[in-house]
Structure formats: structure tokens, C-alpha cells
Structure 1
Amino acid sequence: MTILARGCTHGCLPDEVKKVLKSVASDLGDSIHDLNTLQVIPLKGAMTNQVYQINWPTTPSATEEGLIRKVLLRVYGEGVELFFNRDDEIRTFECMSNHGQGPRLLGRFAQGRVEEFIHAKTLSAADLRDPHISALIAAKLREFHDLDMHGPRRVLLWDRIRNFLKEAKRLCSKKDAEELQLNTLEEEISVLEKELSTDSQRVGFCHNDLQYGNIMMDEETNSLTIIDYEYASYNPIAYDLANHFCEMAANYHTETPHLLDYSIYPDEEERRRFVTIYLNSAGKQSSDQDQVEELLSDAEKYTLANHLFWGLWGMISNYVNNIEFDYMEYAKQRFQQYWLKKAILLGPAVTIPL
């Protein structure tokens, strides 16, 4: 399915999508009498899928805001089957809905789906640094991790990274493979798995992609909704915190969305505040400072696994995704951070290859 242009109407939509939208409208008690009334609005910031807001009048003569129906149209990106199983993701989506989390699934078609439109503000990069909003995110993330979800409660991180590495080697050019040292990464993954996997680590249902665009806030109630569960799975909670901290270096709504700024990575005080609020949320007050320090340290070490995961993701996406984003440059930055931080986080005995 081609990318839909900004401001286009029903003529941009494939017949299959029109049919699903008419069915969704009927289920919601509306009737799309004239496909010319459909409005298609591209939403920025998505890097795996193409996402659009679809509007239609709830009655033939409706013009007021309250009489306009809004839904979200998600068109699956090219090659996403290399990153996750779409059937598993749909099951997660439906299970989250049953838990009262996230939007409802309204309709499906071969290359995407229609979701409930959440009437809330999508967070910005700056919002992640707001102490009040950050505290809300910490508490919401704890709630997310405690969800009882489908599937075995086992860590999927290391298998996923190894699968990503296999695909990256298959797809990428010899030049890119050499430049990004792919032949060294199998050993790196094994070292990390050995170093970071401990008997005491807590495993929970993790989002694994908690960037600002996947968090929405109702500004009247200050309640948060976490959306987009493509990468969600059981994993060490420290990995999910690490992912969120790494995302604070990104702003996907600039002229150069692929560029990361690690000079604004949260400092130790900011990370400690987040971890403390996380542990003290959900009615589980914890005054154990050792527990705070342990999770803080584990999360920082798990940034290494995070850099490998998203670095390999970027390499693969460069070859399979047609979204306008410099995936390869993004990948290079993540690998650069991996090698830069590895010796610092895992000890001076580890050397950085030239």
C-alpha cells in the first residue's frame, strides 16, 4: 500500500480500506453516505508503520467538531514481519484492551487495522523531561509491567537480538557489515546475556519501545495511555527502563529525526528519581535504597542491550522500510554508543575495537 498524501480524501484509500471503514462506521452507529466526506490526515513520528487520522461526519449534514467521528488507520510498514509476529501483536492489542489499556480494535484488513482514536495529547520529546509528567510515566510503566498477559513469562530479549543479527547479516552489504562490525556481535550478545542475566532480576510485561510518541495524556485528568505494542513482550523490567532513558536522546519531529543527542541523556539524579517513583508506585511503597540503586545500575547496563537491539533494527529497516527516515545513520549512532559505553558500564577489562 502506498503512502497517502497529506490532505487527500477517499480517492487515496484502497477499496479494501474503504470497505472496512464503512463497516466500522456502521458498528459505531454512523453511516458513511458519501466517501467524498472522508478526510485523511497523516500523523508524523511513526517509524514502523504509517499512521493516519480518518474523519467523517456522523450525519450527512454534520459540520460541528462534536459531530465528526475520528478513528486511527494504521498501515503496516514493509518488512515488519522481520521484527515481530503480527498475530502475536494483535493478541497483545486485544489483551491490552481487555485490561482497559489502550485503544479498542475496530477493524482489520490485510495490511493494517482501524483503531479507536484516543482523544488525548501525544507527548513531545520535551514532555519526557517534565518532572510531573515523568513521574506519571514511571507510575504508569510500573502498572504496565504488572499486567497479566498472554504467553510464557520468559525473557525474549536475547533471542530477538540474535534473530535481528541474523537478518542484518542476510540483508546488509559487505561494506556495512564490516563498518558496523557485525561479525563481532554474536560474541557481544553472549557476553551481555551472561553479564546482565541474574537470578534476582525482575521480569515483567515490557513495552520495549517507550518513546514519547507512544504515550498519550488526557490533559484534563492527567491520566496516561501507553499505545503501540508491536515490540511488547516479557523482558527484564530494567531493560524497559533503559529503553525509556535512551529515548530521551531522540526527537522524531525535527528536520533530522534520525539524529540522537546523547548530551541530553538523563543524568543520574533524573534517572534515580524515575526509578524511585517507579518502585514506590502502585501502592507498593519501598524505602529500600539498595533496591533503588540496584535497579538504577541494572537499567544503565541494559542500555547496552538496547543499543544493540535498535542498532540492528535500524540496519534491517534501512533495507526493508520505505518510510522517510535515515535508518542506517540511526543504526550507526546506536552502535557507536554501545562501544563507547561498554567499557564504562562493564568494567575496564573490556576493550573497544578499533
Structure 2
Amino acid sequence: MAVKINGFVVPENLMKLLSSMASNWGDVINKNMLKVVHLSGAMTNEVYRISWPTKRDDDNRTVLVRIYGEGVEIFFNRDEEIRTFECISKHGQGPRLLGRFPEGRVEEFIHSKTLSAHDLRDPETSALIAAKLREFHNLDIPGPKNVVLWDRMRNWLNEAKSLCSSEQANEFRINTLEEEIQTLEKELSQDFQEVRFCHNDLQYGNIMIGEETRSITIIDYEYASYNPVAYDLANHFCEMAANYHTETPHVLNYSLYPGSEERRRFAQIYLCSSGNQPSEAEIEQLVNDAEKYTLANHLFWGLWGIISSYVNNIEFDYMEYARQRFQQYWLRKPKLLGTSKVSINGD
């Protein structure tokens, strides 16, 4: 039987799992004395912090519970995501998996601060993120090391076509997007590009920092896959336009997109963190490539927004979010694909 706590309907399977975990710890005062806090900002799943008082003064047992969003299996394979989660955990990155139930999973709660939108712009914090991202990219995750981006977008485009009304299809130029994806793949795919295991969703809510240690932890790997590293940097830069903790979390402010020097600094620290001193040409190449990959990023998350508006019940204006991503795509495409090179001396 499901139990309702602080507005959260705890599924019966989850309640049994939590009770078993609390009993096994041995220091929980009352396994049924749960405190539930909903953590805002998630757009794919519902996330909750659950804690119990213990026999030790001022100390709680705390876990994170992730309730899977409805219909999100369209975006990724949940079993593959779990395998990735466990593999990354074994590499000493991110939280540990504590248990699974049909509607979601229980994870280790990391006692670190989740970054805010403002934190991404702090030079010291940004430098830590750049170095950590390079470390993440160096993980050897089992499986084919092929670029996933283009096929995933084509699959999402087919889903969007099946869901859209004719009016929406016209507005978003759905019937032209196959050609756009093909053009981007041809223009952006380079023999020399570095393909690594990428996070693909490096927004501030997926980055945590130890308040004393200042160590960075990257979490939430639903969209992680092998891709060009320039695409992951592009994704992170685009996320600087977002703040998911406002009254209008779907609204993007592209005046906050990082300027040329900020992007260059991030790329330089990213490349230097491997222990090598990159040349100016290498830094410039990565900045240029990342800037072009913002176009793929806009299409990727634009399609995600369209589909999510139909399948996900989380309170978020997915369709308006999609609209803004497509607007940026058409706005930026002439400049970014009109010449073979984007100068890092101008935005």
C-alpha cells in the first residue's frame, strides 16, 4: 500500500526498500519516521531527499530517491543508463546505487552543494568544472565508442513528427529538420575531432561542489554517451543561459551566454588539465568547434522539448523551451555555418 508523506505518494515497493535499508543500518530511531523533501529543478525525473533521525545527536541517514518521469524511455534506454551509473560509480565518480524499484531508484545522497546558475559564471568554479569535465571524458566506459548524437536526434525527430500537431509541425519546420541534421553532421564531423564519453546535459543542477573540499562531482547520466567533446562544451555553454529555479524556469536568457574570453578560458583549462600544454591553435580549434556544436545542441534540446511536452507531467513549459531553442538555431546558423571558422575574438 502506498503511503503519502509531505505530499509525496511513496510507492509500496519503495516503502519496503526504504524500510529494509533503515533496518539494516541499525542506528535509525524509527524506520517509519521519514522526512521527505522535494528537490526542484529536475526536468526528466522527480527527485526527493529522504532522511531518518538516528541515535546519534544531530545526525541523519539520508538518501536520494529518483522517480522516473513518464515516457522518458523515448529519450534513453533505462537499463543502459543504470549500467552507466554503476560503471561511473565504480570509477569513483558520482553517487552509489543503493537500490531499485519499478518506478525509480535510490541513490547515495552526496553531502555537497548543488551549483546555482550564478555559480557557473564564477571563474574559480568554472575552472574546477572544466578540469572535472576532462576527467569525466577520460573515463573508459564499456561499449561502442561511436558518436551517438546524430542517430539519437533522428530518432527523436521521428518521435516529434508522430506527436506534433500540423500547426506545431509548421511552426518548428519539422519537415526540414532531417536535412538540417544531415547538414550539421556533414559540416561538424571531422576526422581529427576527439570523441569521448560525454555527459551531454551539463547544466548547473547536475554539478555539485564540496563546500570545504571544493571538489566537483558530476551527477545524472541519463543522456550520457560517446560524442565529440566539443559538443559537451557547447552544451555547457548553452546551459549558462538557463535558470531552472525561477518562476519561469523554461525561459532562456541568451544575453548570459559566455563571451569569447570566457569560452576560451574554459577550453584552455579543460585542455591543460590532462597535463599537456595546448597550443594556441588547439585552444582556438576547440572553441571554434564548440561554438558550431551549439547548433546541434539547440536542435537536440528543441526536439527533447517538443516530445517532453507530450509525455512528461513535470510542471515545466517544454513547448516554449523548445521554441526558444529552435529560434536560437535559426538565428545563429547563418553566422556559424556561413564561414569555415568562428573567430574567438568576437562573439
* Equivalent position of 2:90 in the other structure: 98
* Counterpart selection for 1:309 from 287, 300, 307: 300
User: Is 2:67–2:105's contact at 8 Å kept on the other side of the alignment?
Assistant: yes
Q: Secondary structure at the match of 2:70?
A: coil
How far is the alpha carbon of 1:15 from its aligned partner? 1.3
- Alignment of 1:279 onto 2:284: no
* Equivalent position of 1:321 in the other structure: 312
* Equivalent position of 1:193 in the other structure: 185
* Equivalent position of 1:231 in the other structure: 223
* Counterpart selection for 2:16 from 19, 29, 34: 19
* Counterpart selection for 1:42 from 31, 38, 42: 38
Aligned AA for 2:129? I
User: Is 2:243–2:249's contact at 8 Å kept on the other side of the alignment?
Assistant: yes
**1:238-275 CA distances to partner (integer Å, 9 max, x unpaired)?**
00000000000000000000000001100001000000
Partners of 1:44 and 1:191 in 2: CA distance: 37
5+ residue gaps in structure 1?
A: 350-354
Partners of 1:86 and 1:246 in 2: CA distance: 26
How far is the alpha carbon of 1:283 from its aligned partner? 2.0
Q: Secondary structure at the match of 2:100?
A: strand
- Alignment of 1:56 onto 2:56: no
* Equivalent position of 2:69 in the other structure: 77
Q: Secondary structure at the match of 2:95?
A: coil
Partners of 1:215 and 1:80 in 2: CA distance: 21
Aligned AA for 1:50? E
Partners of 2:104 and 2:27 in 1: CA distance: 22
How far is the alpha carbon of 1:27 from its aligned partner? 4.2
Aligned length: 338
Partners of 1:191 and 1:261 in 2: CA distance: 27
Partners of 1:58 and 1:130 in 2: CA distance: 37
* Equivalent position of 2:250 in the other structure: 258
5+ residue gaps in structure 2?
A: 341-347
User: TM-score, normalised on structure 1?
Assistant: 0.93
Partners of 2:270 and 2:180 in 1: CA distance: 30
How far is the alpha carbon of 1:25 from its aligned partner? 2.3
Aligned AA for 1:107? G
Partners of 1:268 and 1:348 in 2: CA distance: 17
Partners of 1:225 and 1:81 in 2: CA distance: 25
Q: Secondary structure at the match of 1:65?
A: coil
User: Is 2:200–2:225's contact at 8 Å kept on the other side of the alignment?
Assistant: yes
- Alignment of 1:181 onto 2:177: no
Change in Cα spacing, 1:289 to 1:25, as seen in structure 2 (3 Å) is same
